[in-house]
Amino acid sequence: MANAPDIPALMTLLAKALVDAPDEVSAEAFDEVGQIVVELQVAENEVGKIIGRQGRMARSLRTILGAAGSKTGKRYQLEIVE
């Protein structure tokens, strides 16, 4: 697909806007059976900011991934790692 979205770049952009140390944010996508796993890596002390209160921020990021997936016909899963 010529206009395929760069999902790891999207997650990196969003996460950099949320944390205090944007230089330590990166994302990679891995193909697994039936889905694409996006690993979002942030500094150890920034994980709480990405997860948010009661997981609201993480849920929002996963909602964005779901919307991108419905547009491209793929299923994405977000994993937040330190």
**Entry pTM:** 0.86
Which alpha helices (H) appear in the chain, and where do they start and end? 7-18, 47-51, 56-72
Separation of alpha carbons 32 and 38, rounded Å? 10
CB 38 within 8 A of CB 78: yes
CATH superfamily label, 7-81? K homology (KH) domain (3.30.300.20)
User: Hey, where are the domains in the chain?
Assistant: 7-81
Report pLDDT digits (tens) over 39-58: 999 999 999 999 999 999 99
Residue 19 pLDDT > 70, yes or no?
A: yes
Separation of alpha carbons 81 and 28, rounded Å? 11
Separation of alpha carbons 15 and 41, rounded Å? 9
Report pLDDT digits (tens) over 59-76: 999 999 999 888 888 899
